Amino acid sequence: MSATAIPVASFGNNPKVAQAIRETLLPEYDVVHTTLTLSTSLAELPSLCNGTFNQTPSSNLGSNASASSPADLKVPKAVIFGGGVSPSDAEQVKEAVLKKNSEIKFVRLTREDMVAAGAEGPDPEVIGRLLKARLVEVLA
């Protein structure tokens, strides 16, 4: 991971896809925390986005999960939502996070976005490319 990578968090449903996407986002973006369910997203992401590190990712995915000291933990600048996350779940997480930190940005890809980009399923390369483009836009 690059020292200059921009930290982001993710909420998706598939841990294998989440890990593969994390790798495609490097070195520009570092997925520091991944959640896999609505309940864990609501429990973990708002405090994390506010800089409160009171728990490691329940998914055990993300660079914060393997941080060797509290000084190595990073606060995300954005939260990305996987294509399998429903609009209502994404909105609930967004509202909860914004109550704690109004500066956080959000990126949600839909399955339609992925199909339009040429993916026939959860293709980490296509997803990574789309996320990088969207992250550039929202974090500019």
In this structure, what DSSP letter does residue 138 have?
H
pTM (predicted TM-score): 0.92
Q: Is 40 helix (H, G, I), strand (E, B) or coil?
A: helix
The residue among 129 and 69 whose pLDDT is bigger is 129
Mean pLDDT for 54-67 is: 86
Has residue 56 got a pLDDT over 80? no
Cα–Cα distance, 63 to 94 (Å, whole number): 22
Average pLDDT, the chain: 91
% the chain with pLDDT above 90? 66
Cα–Cα distance, 9 to 76 (Å, whole number): 6
- In the block, tokens 């969207």 appear at 134
Cα–Cα distance, 70 to 13 (Å, whole number): 27
- Per-residue pLDDT, 120: 79
% the chain with pLDDT above 70? 98
Question: Using one digit for the tens of pLDDT, what is the confidence trace for 27-44?
Answer: 999 999 999 999 999 999
Cα–Cα distance, 113 to 133 (Å, whole number): 12
In this structure, what DSSP letter does residue 65 have?
G
Has residue 54 got a pLDDT over 80? no
- Of 61, 29, 55, 60, nearest in space to 43 by CA: 55
Cα–Cα distance, 87 to 129 (Å, whole number): 21
- Per-residue pLDDT, 3: 62
- In the block, tokens 């500019």 appear at 140
